[in-house]
Amino acid sequence: MSNPQLTPVSYVVLGLVAQGATTSYDMKQKASRSVGYFWNFPHSQLYAEPARLVELGLLDEMREAEGRRRRVYTLTRGGREALDEWLREPTTDQTQIRDTGLLKLFFGDGMSPAEIAALAREQEEAHQARLTVYETIEDAVANPSHAAVVRAGLLHERTFAEFWREIAATPP
């Protein structure tokens, strides 16, 4: 019986706070070098979403007394429970892949083989670049859960770089 008002971003915020993030900017920093790689969102959500979660009683908010008077968030008991419950409940939603390159390929009947090859090379390069990033950070990730997810990203990029390489070689 999970709370239907909570979106994936809600759990990203709860999870980041659980992992020690305290302010919105802190979440942004942590996310940009981890979960943000495969689940991206603008920083404004990291300011809006915590406010919602405070409303729902899942986060506590305190203001710093001086300096920037930033909002500092901590998990409430309810927030911890909501996160734990979500982690343990079955996952129904299917993976969504939002890939503009694939979309173009799908509708690319009208393109010439040369144009398709150009698209494919461009896509291969992009995936290869990300693959390199993942390979670079792979060993620096201490947290095993994070490392596993980096590995998933790495495998995905490798698969797709390879896919596009084949398309470039023999356009459909």
Partner DNA sequence: CCTATCATGTAATCCGTTACATGATTAT
Partner DNA sequence: ATAATCATGTAACGGATTACATGATAGG
Residue 41 CA to residue 164 CA, distance in Å, equals 26
| Per-residue contact flags (x/-) with DNA for residues 81 to 120, judged by CB under 7 A | ----------------------------------------
Quick one: which of 9, 102, 118, 147 contacts DNA (CB under 7 A)? 9
Which of 25/163 has CB closer to DNA?
A: 25
Number of residues that bind DNA (CB under 7 A): 24
Stated as kind and residue range, the H or E segment containing 61 is strand 59-63
Q: Is 80 helix (H, G, I), strand (E, B) or coil?
A: helix
- The answer to whether the beta carbons of residues 14 and 83 sit under 8 Å apart is yes
Look at phi and psi of residue 57 and say left if phi exceeds 0, alpha if psi is from -120 to 50, else beta.
left
Cα pseudo-dihedral 121, 124, 126, 127, rounded to 10: 170
Q: Is 171 helix (H, G, I), strand (E, B) or coil?
A: coil
Is position 57 an interface residue for DNA (rule: CB under 7 A)? Answer: no
Quick one: which of 14, 59, 71, 75 contacts DNA (CB under 7 A)? 71
Length of the chain equals: 172
Residues that bind its own copies (CB under 8 A): 8, 11-12, 14-15, 18-19, 34-35, 38-40, 83-84, 86-88, 90-91, 93-111, 115, 119, 122-123, 126-127, 130, 143-149, 151-153, 155-156, 159-160, 162-163, 167, 172
Which residues lie near DNA (CB under 7 A)? Answer: 5, 7-9, 23-26, 40-45, 47-49, 51-52, 67-71
